[in-house]
């Protein structure tokens, strides 16, 4: 796969036909004033946060395709591959919106340098971009306008901290809006929850768990065709528990079933559920139920 790597914001400006950036590590650009992207794979060495509308084409990131005819907010971290393709039919419209480009060096020696990785939507984009409500779009547009105004003004000793604060506000609002999107997509998300329950039930009903081991979060997310972070975020919004906790809940449910309806020893139950060591099973069971497996079984005799 051929990949075009763009290492600096200045190089990206040249690539897209923008004027030279006013700041080497930070830029806000108008998407409508750019050259059209050709169908190729691209990697940026910096962060990109964008709001796009009317892009009559297909944006591919990870294994997912997106259509930007609606207003969509999208997040890219450094070293992530994306590509843009064009629809074969109809006249291509001129997209509108903005892009905020931030080199990681801009965050140097600030708390955001450590904390930016905690914003899961840089991974959520693999499965779902953020579709903004009109009032939400107004909020983020105002923040980005403040950032643009600040770095276009005379730079002084306060400028960087003011811009960092605005970026943090933008990320925090995006976090809030993503959580709203989880809740407003209730029907779709409950369908994913149903598929998760069916997947885990089928997994724990298999007979070779000792060879396969306990299901990993990555395995479950892959089977559901969504990213691990998106799945855990959605589950926390709906149930208060992340994916790993759901796996453990299903595991304990199957353990209780075997302890109360079979004559298997506790060691055999642990073995059938994929545990190599009885102590690990007993520890998890007691942590989740407040009782050891033996005490739990005795309560049913």
Secondary-structure class of domain 187-298 per CATH:
mainly alpha
pLDDT by position in tens, the chain (length 301): 577 889 999 999 999 888 999 899 999 998 876 666 666 778 899 999 998 876 555 666 554 555 555 568 888 888 877 776 655 554 455 678 899 999 999 998 889 988 888 887 876 444 567 888 889 999 999 999 999 999 888 778 888 999 999 999 999 999 898 888 766 665 566 678 888 888 988 888 887 777 788 889 989 988 888 888 878 887 887 777 889 998 998 898 888 888 888 888 999 999 888 888 899 999 999 998 888 999 888 876 5
Determine the pLDDT at residue 63.
46
Structure pTM?
Answer: 0.63
The ranges assigned to domains in the chain are 3-184, 187-298
3-state secondary structure the chain: CCEEEECCHHHHHHHHCCCCCCECCEEEEEHHHCCCCCCCEEEECCEEEEEEECEEEEEEECCEEEEECCCEEEEECCCCEEEEEECCCCCCCCCEEEEEEECHHHHCCCHHHHHHHHCCHHHHCCCCCEECCHHHHHHHHHHHHHHHHHHHCCCCCCHHHHHHHHHHHHHHHHHHHHHHHHHHCHHHHHHHHHHHHHHHHHHHCCCCHHHHCCCCHHHHHHHHCCCHHHHHHHHHHHHCCCHHHHHHHHHHHHHHHHHHHCCCCHHHHHHHCCCCCHHHHHHHHHHHHCCCHHHHHHCCC
CATH of domain 3-184: 2.60.120.280
Query: Which pLDDT belongs to residue 144?
Result: 96
């Amino acid at each position: 796969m051929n990949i075009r790597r763009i290492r600096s914001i200045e190089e990206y400006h040249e690539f897209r036909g923008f004027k030279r950036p006013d700041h080497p590590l930070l830029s806000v650009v108008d998407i409508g004033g750019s050259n059209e992207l050709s169908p190729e794979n691209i990697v940026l060495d910096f962060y990109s946060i964008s709001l796009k509308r009317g892009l009559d084409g297909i944006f591919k990131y990870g294994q997912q395709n997106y259509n930007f005819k609606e207003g969509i907010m999208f997040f890219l971290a450094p070293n992530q591959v994306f590509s843009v393709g064009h629809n074969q039919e109809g006249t291509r419209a001129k997209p509108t919106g903005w892009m905020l480009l931030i080199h990681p060096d801009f965050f140097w020696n600030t708390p955001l340098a450590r904390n930016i990785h905690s914003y899961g939507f840089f991974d959520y984009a693999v499965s779902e971009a953020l579709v903004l409500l009109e009032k939400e779009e107004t909020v983020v547009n105002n923040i980005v306008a403040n950032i643009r105004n600040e770095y276009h003004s005379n730079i002084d000793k306060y400028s960087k901290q003011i811009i960092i604060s605005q970026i943090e506000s933008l990320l925090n609002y995006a976090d809030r809006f993503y959580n709203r999107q989880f809740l407003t997509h209730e029907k779709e998300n409950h369908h994913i929850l149903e598929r998760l329950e069916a997947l885990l039930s089928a997994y724990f009903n298999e007979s070779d768990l000792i060879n396969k081991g306990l299901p990993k979060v990555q395995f479950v997310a892959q089977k559901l065709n969504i990213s691990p972070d998106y799945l855990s975020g959605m589950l926390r919004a709906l149930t208060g528990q992340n994916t790993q906790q759901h796996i453990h809940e299903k595991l304990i449910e199957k353990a209780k079933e075997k302890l109360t309806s079979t004559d298997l020893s506790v060691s055999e139950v642990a073995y059938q559920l994929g545990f190599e060591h009885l102590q690990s099973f007993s520890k998890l069971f007691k942590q989740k139920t407040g009782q050891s497996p033996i005490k739990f079984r005795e309560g049913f005799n």
